Amino acid sequence: MWQIALIQTNISAGDPDRNREVLESKMQQAAEAALKPDIIVLPEMRNTGYALEQIDKLADPEGLASRRWISEFARKFKVHIVAGSVAEKREDKVYNTMLVFDRTGAEVAAYSKIHLFGLMNEDKYMAAGDQAVTFELDGIRAGASICYDIRFPELARTLSLNGAQIMFVPAQWPHPRLQHWRTLLTARAIENQMYVIACNTTGRNGNDYFFGHSAIIDPWGEWIAEGGETEGIITGQLDLTLVHQVRERIPVFKDRRPSAYEL
Ligand SMILES: NC(=O)CCC(=O)C(=O)O
């Protein structure tokens, strides 16, 4: 069994120092709870928020400051961290990059968001990643996905075909698309028979009202933990044997017939 804690919080657009301070205190609260988490998960763009007009100046160069901070925290509290995503500057471009560290403080994955969200102008200011990423924590393979990525079932399917039993989804997903959020997350879990762990933000940036509803969804599509619309730490347990049980009961991976429909 894995104990998970999702840090659902407001992210202040354009204020990386404040965001780090707020997150650190909540992460510490989660790490010191009686039910100590194996994994802490943070939301999307957790350093800058969607301060896109200033993103070039605010983005973390090579993600170095983020990497140093998360690594130290992971080692100190002996907890794996799926550190949401950060605006990261590389070779004059800014990427929306998920960082993952294990409980020894070692970096195990970096994934740059493949699908940039035009409705929030992300594509005008940021560069897209071009590689699907899976990684292992405690010998369990998991996959990376960020917010808008969940609208693309091909990515989640690629991750599950590459062995992922869990997909992490840091997000900044606003109203009025709560039904899309709930439906897409549930569908990705059911069709790939894997856990989906989604950490959304709360609060407001301009006209965007982020609604929380962070979730832990099991491979049968049940929402085993769900946040409300305000800040909170959402916790739940993963039982990885359920992935195998569901995959045996309805053998989707054995029954799929890609030769009939792949482009
Ligand atoms: N930050 C995002 O990618 C938002 C995606 C979103 O809101 C959607 O409806 O898709």
User: Candidates 147, 155, 182: which one to mutate for ligand 1, based on the most atoms within 8 Å of Cβ?
Assistant: 147
Segments of the chain with pLDDT less than 50? none
Sorted by where each starts, the structural domains of the chain and their CATH numbers stand as 2-252 (3.60.110.10)
Write down the pLDDT at residue 263. Answer: 76
| Residues 43/56, Cβ–Cβ less than 8 Å | no
Write down the pLDDT at residue 257. Answer: 97
Neighbours of 57 (CB within 10 A): 11
User: Is residue 113 annotated as a catalytic residue, yes or no?
Assistant: yes
Sheet containing 223-226: give its strands across.
134-137, 140-144, 166-170, 195-199, 215-217, 223-226
Write down the pLDDT at residue 255. Answer: 98
| Residues 202/229, Cβ–Cβ less than 8 Å | yes
Neighbours of 20 (CB within 10 A): 15
Asked if residue 36 has its Cβ within 6 Å of ligand 1, the reply is no
Write down the pLDDT at residue 147. Answer: 98
Q: How far, in Å, is the centroid of ligand 1 from the Cα of 27?
A: 24
User: Candidates 48, 117, 183, 209: which one to mutate for ligand 1, based on the most atoms within 8 Å of Cβ?
Assistant: 117
Handedness of CA 73, 74, 78, 81 (dihedral sign): positive
Write down the pLDDT at residue 249. Answer: 98
Q: What is the pLDDT of residues 197-209, one digit of tens each?
A: 999 999 999 999 9
User: Is residue 147 annotated as a catalytic residue, yes or no?
Assistant: yes
Neighbours of 230 (CB within 10 A): 12
DSSP state of 109: E
Q: For the whole model, what pTM was predicted?
A: 0.98
Asked if residue 211 has its Cβ within 6 Å of ligand 1, the reply is no
